[in-house]
Amino acid sequence: MAEEKRVVKSSLGARITHWSHTICWFILLFSGLLMVTDWFSWLAPVFGGVNGANLLHRIFAIVFAAVPLIGLIYNPRSFINWMKEALTWGKDEIKFMMMFPFDLIGIKVNMPPQDRINAGQKFNSLFFPTIGLFIGLSGVVMWFAESFPLWMVRIAYPIHDLCWILGTMQLMFHMYLGSLHPGSGESFWAMFGDGKVRASWAKHHHTKWYERVYGEEEEE
């Protein structure tokens, strides 16, 4: 069988940011948990004690914020286009979201045709940047607590906690749906690999996008 044609789904910038955020999120999560609750005191040796976790938390917070910011400066178009995609909602997106619970438990449903990112991924694409923004801003206030007014410091703590809790909550779904959920393997290896998916897979899962971008090519 001839090698099947592969098409680019995840850009290099998207993959770099995704890799960086995958690594940073877990380091930040566990170093943060070590500081915030004694349930995770068994992790202390990994981070060099609470003080080591404190330092690592700040170092990786800078990486966490810097990578997308550098990307934004280097190629703002890419980010704007991604946000435009994520904000475009029509009948097919709403239908997808309503049928999704059935797909999740394994009942076969005929999903409406989707764009490069499906409705669930669109939600995800809006959710995580929002979390990132607020966790970053509240983190700056917490880091330089003495330079900010007291009321700001006081709301920064609940915001920071709310962000990591809701972020990790969504991450549980995201990790599963993006890897082990039936049919997701292709885009998993695209995001963590060369960004490419097989054409037949793209046509089936992201019909609208495939037809728009690669459809004509096929006809030729």
3-state DSSP of 21-32: HHHHHHHHHHHH
Site for another protein in 63-82 (CB under 8 A): none
Q: Is residue 185 part of the contact set for another protein (CB under 8 A)? A: yes
What does the angle CA 213 – CA 215 – CA 220 come to, to the nearest 5 degrees? 120
Cβ proximity to another protein: between 74 and 157 the closer is 157
Find out whether 135 and 164 touch, Cβ atoms under 8 Å. Answer: yes
Q: Which stretch binds another protein (CB under 8 A): 9-17, 75-83, 115-123, 157-165?
A: 157-165
Q: Which stretch binds another protein (CB under 8 A): 63-71, 73-81, 198-206, 212-220?
A: 198-206
Q: Which stretch binds another protein (CB under 8 A): 71-79, 80-88, 132-140, 159-167?
A: 159-167
Find out whether 10 and 191 touch, Cβ atoms under 8 Å. Answer: yes
Selection from 98, 118, 127, 111 nearest residue 177 by Cα: 118
Q: Is residue 110 part of the contact set for another protein (CB under 8 A)? A: no
Cβ proximity to another protein: between 204 and 208 the closer is 204
* Least distance in angstroms from the C-beta of 193 to another protein: 10
Q: Please pick, from the candidates 82, 123, 201, 209, the single residue that binds another protein as defined by CB under 8 A.
A: 201
Selection from 24, 33, 31, 60 nearest residue 47 by Cα: 31
Helices (H) and strands (E) in the chain, counts: 10, 2
Largest CA distance in the chain: 67
Strand partners, 198: 6
From the CB of residue 172, how many other CB atoms can be counted at a distance below 10 Å? Answer: 9
Q: Is residue 183 part of the contact set for another protein (CB under 8 A)? A: yes
| Both structure tokens of 97 | 């979201």
Residue with tokens 């992201």: 206
Q: Is residue 30 part of the contact set for another protein (CB under 8 A)? A: no
Amino acid at 155: I
Q: Please pick, from the candidates 23, 140, 145, 199, the single residue that binds another protein as defined by CB under 8 A.
A: 145
Q: Which stretch binds another protein (CB under 8 A): 17-25, 46-54, 84-92, 123-131?
A: 46-54
Residues lying near another protein in the complex (CB under 8 A) are found at 35-38, 50-51, 54, 103-108, 142, 145-146, 150-151, 153-155, 157-158, 161-162, 165-166, 168-170, 172-173, 175-177, 180-186, 188-189, 197-198, 200-201, 204
